[in-house]
Structure 1
Amino acid sequence: MLSNPNIDLVSRFLRLPLEQRQQFYQRLQSRGMSFAQLPIASVREDGQHLPLSYAQERQWFLWQLDPDSAAYHVPGALRLSGRLDKAALQRSFDALVARHESLRTRLHLDGEQRAQEVLAPAPIEIAESAVDEARLKARVEAEIARPFDLQQGPLLRVSLFAVSEAEHVLVLVQHHIVSDGWSMGVMVQELMQLYAAYSQGLECVLAPLPIQYADYAMWQRSWMEAGEKASQLDYWHKLLSGPQPVLALPFDQPRPAQQSFGGARQDIALEPVLVVGLKALAQREGVTMFMLLLASFQAFLYRYSGQQDIRIGVPIANRNRVETESLIGFFVNTQVLKADLDGRMTFAQLLQHTKRRALEAQAHQDLPFEQLVEALQPERSLSHNPLFQVMFNHQAHSHSAAQQLPGLRVANLEWDSHSAQFDLSLDTQESGEGIWASLTYATDLFSAATVARMGEHWLSLLRDAVANAAVHVQDLALLNAGEREQILYQWNATERDYPQGQWVHSLIEGQAQAQPDAPALRFNDLSLSYAELNRRANRLAHRLIEAGVGPDVLVGLAVERSIDMVVGLLAVLKAGGAYVPLDPEYPRERLAYMLHDSGVKLLLIQAHLLGQLPIPQGLETLVLGE
């Protein structure tokens, strides 16, 4: 139990001006005391300005950018089978709203400052409607996607869909600015406790809440401003300062100028034998399952991107204080876990690297992500998230099962997510029954087929790591047996029978006679028939012969990938010479050496490359297309 002297100490601290708070903080530090170990006190007065937390400020900014987005909604849906007592349900929600200020909070501008406004307790509307089973999923998804107005509120919506007299679906949607995933769990558990009592005519007394979310927001700001922000920021600044890499995965579509937050989810099945192997590997290497799966995701992203600096966002519940465990509010924080990968390190070495970074991050977990972004000042872009573009979220708990209430069976209802906050997110859930995983992806960037293939590749990597943790990260298998067969053998089965004793240009000439109008070349929007290709190559070949090209004469061919490249190649062959390919992208020193060492007698070149190549004095040049 927290002692009153400690509460009084914190209360005095929170009322001090900033300079005196900083001095107070330094005195605590010099005595080896941590302010984090002291309780959170409520020092609010009626009518006092209630600031937003750091996390809420970022949510406000994101909402203003796109008020209609559902990317930051916190939804839940419960299927209620049996006799539903609607009066008890209404009373339960009203008790929840009275208990948790976050459920009756809206935001407003107080001058130039954003502030929270806590409204008086009032009955909450439960929107009831009938829906048939066939349309249920679509109705749930539509309700989840319906936008909030943060300034008007309410920021909790409750809908009750009647599928039949004995079958209902309860949909709860909160905005992230007043809630998080942990909070949804708190709400559902307290709702069931209240309903269980009220539906039987009993009273329900929940343990009193020592503080409310607004108290936490004021305490957090006072603590961070006094000196904790600078203390924690030192570690993160050393780790993450400098150029901020943007993870370049092989997207199916170019990244749009502004994220739409449209998304979808791909479930991944981990077979029981793999789960057993993962648990054994974690035990052998002295790491948690979180660390193992994070390391596997880091290795996967390294293999897919080729980048060595891999940065992944990892949410932490931030519920390590007794005062916040049972509160509804936006407590979750995000850490940026950085891995410095080298393909030659073994997977076992990567595990230890990841373990060390995870433990360091845990020791510096109180710095709000928003303060880290402000300190590092990454280049801002509406096209991607700052500091990281992929997320990993691991939850270790028992897999959700149906629960029993008086006269009701309660089970979670699944629905399809249509939003994504990041380019790619890997979510894993661990329990005694197994491990479940899913990839949530931005549909602006990835196709469903690509992400399904990604899931298979991640599983292949896990299996290989379990089989031999001493394997180098660069050698971890991504492809399954079918893909290896296709790439190594089926795609390489290119052997064909061609007429013996005929030259390539002779075969082209034969095709020009047999099918003159058939397309021979396509490049961007251009197309060339066999007849036109042959005519253009012949014209150029005559010019080459006039310039002295024939057997044993080397012709330099300096062209970008284009139709001109093929015309030039065929013309040299028709003239009886041999071509020396010169890639214009090569360094000038390399090209100068090739031109000198090869002994080319003539250079075929595109006009716009004349000033780029180090052409030796006296070397005859012929410009393609003239």
Structure 2
Amino acid sequence: MPDNTQLSESKRDLLQRYLYGRRATSSVGPSSIARRTTNSVAPLSLCQQQIWLNAQRRGVPPFYNESITLHRKGPLSPAVLEQSLIEILRRHEAWRTTFDVFDGQPVQIIHPTPARLPLTVVDLRALAENDREQEARRLAEAEVHRSFDLRRGPLFRPTLVRLGENDYRLHMAVHQIIIDGVTAYHVLLPELACLYQAFSESKPSPLPELPIQYADFAYWQREGLQGELLATQLAYWRKQLEAPLPVLHWPNDRPRPPKQTFRGTIQPFTLPSGLSSEIRQFAQSEGVTSFAALLTGFFALLHCYTRQVDIVVGTVSSARKRSEVQRLMGYFLNPVPLRVDLSGNPTVRELLSRVRRVSVGALSNDEVPFEHIVEKLRPEIDPSRNPFFQVAASLEPSMPDVDSSWNLTPMDITSGGARWDLYLVWDDRPDGIIGRVQYNPDLLDAATILKMLEHQETLLGKIVSNPQTHLSDLTI
């Protein structure tokens, strides 16, 4: 691990510049992401730093542990799979990175590509067919429940499970500090499918080399967020989140503990295919995204439960705004609060317009890290609640165009932890909208969540059938 005695004088100087912004003059401005000049140590991105700070909590579940399951229907060689994963590690520094502290500041340490990968392989074909699914989940849960050591790594643990002759699952427990939805859907899955196909035919990798790495983005992001840009975006949030801030009066099944417990479990759901099509058609006719339509339904649902007209819901924005970072693995997300005014008994169409306007405003001012907004705006701290919002919603990236023998499902194994009281995630697949609710069982019962999902389905049906319906007429 890095300290003043282990780094050369030149590397120490470079690291000081990275951490504190003292960089030699360059013809490359902050609008261009350039390759850094040292390959082993770098600052955290602003996105990562929020995760790192919260990951220092003790005595809470591993709520930053993520689960991804890659499904393979067809023959599979564990050796070729390992070779493919090692090549992905070679291509992406972010997945061979650990985190330490240098001069009181967190830094990321990029390690060489390993020669071997600790890939656990389990064959369940000896079990009765009805028992294989349960055992596969047990194995995956055991991995995702184990904490990660950010200093030592590795920060992902793959387990290959064989359920049938041509039925495999690659369960991956991953620390959130190195992964987001785009990483899983648009980088990991397509690269793995492509590399596996090439290596199984004894061909070289057909993937082009990456122009930059995640650590290059981290430094560029820190260099760019300052001065007028920072001041302008903070001014937006001061106005948007001015007091008094509403507290969502969610009808919990149990009293709220005095401190956040960060416990969580997951409930998957599937919207009817007909309703999924209607939601897409409705969004297209109204000139908005499917996410805006679904989010409008969620705000309406919260209003039905609470009768509040000033509601804040969280979502996550992406820092992948430049072409250079679209194909990088890593964590690029930032939580943002969406404060929507539901007063005046608006129609569905008017509420949709308000949700869209607030979302556009938030996502246009999303470069300020959430923790920085909290620090500067200083909302009243309640140790039992997350600052600004307790419920959140987001939409997964679209499924990539990959060989049909490969598929992916995220967050299908619970880690036992959760950042918020309730987190609703939609996943718009070609055959319909699916999703999951991550919720805190210290506050909410499973039966309550199932009823909420029924209410969501009912409300969405009413919303897409008549956009002139008033909010007061959207009953559940």
- Tell me the alpha carbon deviations over residues 589-621 of structure 1, each in whole angstroms, 9 at most, x when there is no partner: xxxxxxxxxxxxxxxxxxxxxxxxxxxxxxxxx
Whether the aligned pair in 2 keeps the contact of 1:54 and 1:371 (CA below 8 Å) is no
Query: Counterpart of 2:340 in 1: which secondary structure?
Result: strand
Q: C-alpha separation between the residues in 2 aligned to 1:242 and 1:110?
A: 38
2:19–2:105 Cα contact (<8 Å) kept: no
Cα distance in 2 for partners of 1:327, 1:397 equals 17
Identity %: 34
Letter matched to residue 361 of structure 1: A
Structure 2 equivalent of residue 156 of structure 1: 156
In the superposition, relative to structure 1, how do residues 128 and 300 fare at CA in structure 2: closer, same or farther (>3 Å)? same
Matched residue type, 2:406: V
Change (3 A) 1:411 1:428: closer
* Structure 2 counterpart of 1:443, from 398, 417, 441: 441
Q: Does residue 125 of structure 1 match 2:123? A: no
* Residue in 2 that maps onto 1:218: 219
Counterpart mapping for 1:11-160 below 5 A: 38-45=31-38, 50-66=42-58, 69-123=61-115, 124-131=117-124, 132=127, 133=132, 134-160=134-160
- SS, match of residue 385 in structure 1: coil
Measure, in 2, the Cα distance between the counterparts of 1:16 and 1:108: 13
C-alpha deviations, 1:461-482, integer Å up to 9, x for none?
Answer: 222323432232123111xxxx
Aligned to 2:238: 237
Aligned to 2:406: 410
**Contact 2:85/2:192 (CA < 8 Å) preserved in 1?**
yes
SS at match of 1:422: coil
CA-to-aligned-CA distance 1:200-228 (integer Å, 9 cap, x gap): 11111421111111111111111113442
**Residue 202 in structure 1 maps to residue 203 in structure 2:** yes
Distance in 1 between residues matched to 2:102 and 2:462, nearest whole Å = 57
Cα pair 1:346 1:470 within 8 Å, conserved: yes
How many angstroms apart in 2 are the aligned matches of 1:162 and 1:434?
Answer: 27
**Matched residue of 2:324: which SS?**
coil
Q: CA deviation at 1:416?
A: 4.3
Greater shift in the superposed pair: 164-173 or 437-446 = 164-173
Where 1:323 maps in the other structure, the secondary structure is: helix
- The 1-side partners of 2:70 and 2:281 are apart by 35
Structure 2 portions without partners, runs of 5+: 1-16
CA distance in 2, matches of 1:175, 1:249: 30
In structure 1, how many angstroms separate the alpha carbons of the residues matched to 2:144 and 2:42?
A: 28
Report the residue type matching 2:254 in the other structure: Q
1:328 is paired with a residue whose SS is coil
Distance in 2, matches of 1:19 and 1:65, equals 31
Structure 2 SS opposite 1:65: coil
Equivalent residues of 2:268, 2:436 under 8 A apart: yes
Gap change, CA 1:146 and 1:327, over 3 Å in 2 = same
Deviation at 1:339, TM superposition (A): 0.2
Flag the 1:274–1:125 CA change in 2: closer, same or farther, 3 A.
closer
Q: Is the 8 A contact 1:63 1:69 kept in 2?
A: no
2:140–2:413 contact (8 Å) kept in structure 1: no
Bigger Rg, structure 1 or 2: 1
Distance in 1 separating the partners of 2:56 and 2:425: 28
Within 2, Cα distance between the matches of 1:18 and 1:76? 36
Name structure 1 gaps, 5 residues minimum. Answer: 1-13, 29-34, 479-626
Counterparts of 1:413 and 1:315, CA distance in 2: 19
CA contact (8 A) 2:93 2:213 kept: yes
Shift of 1:394: 1.9
The one-letter code of the counterpart of 1:348 is R
Residue 468 (structure 2) aligns with: 470
Q: Could you tell me how far apart the structure 2 residues matched to 1:432 and 1:94 are?
A: 31
Amino acid at match of 1:453: K
CA RMSD of aligned residues (A): 3.1
AA of the residue aligned to 2:469 = V
| 1:64-463 alignment, distance < 5 Å | 64-66=56-58, 69-123=61-115, 124-131=117-124, 132=127, 133=132, 134-163=134-163, 167-185=167-185, 186-342=187-343, 344-395=345-396, 397-398=398-399, 403=403, 409-412=405-408, 415-417=412-414, 418-463=416-461
Q: Secondary structure, in 3 states, of the residue corresponding to 2:225? A: helix
The structure-2 alpha-carbon separation of the partners of 1:153 and 1:67, relative to structure 1 and needing over 3 Å to count, comes to farther
Q: Would you say the 8 A contact 1:54–1:370 is kept in 2? A: no
Counterpart CA distance in 2 for 1:440 and 1:352 is 27
Query: Aligned equivalents of 2:163 and 2:21: distance in 1?
Result: 57
Question: How does 1:574-613 map onto structure 2 within 5 Å?
Answer: none
Task: Count how many residue pairs are aligned between Structure 1 and Structure 2.
Answer: 450
Q: 1:236–1:319: structure 2 CA closer, same or farther, 3 Å change rule?
A: same
Counterpart AA for 2:90: A
Aligned amino acid, residue 472 of structure 2? Q
Relative contact order higher in (CA < 8 Å, ≥ 6 apart)? 2
1:275 and 1:364 mapped to 2: Cα distance? Answer: 30
CA distance in 1, matches of 2:21, 2:300: 45
Deviation of 1:303 (Å): 2.1
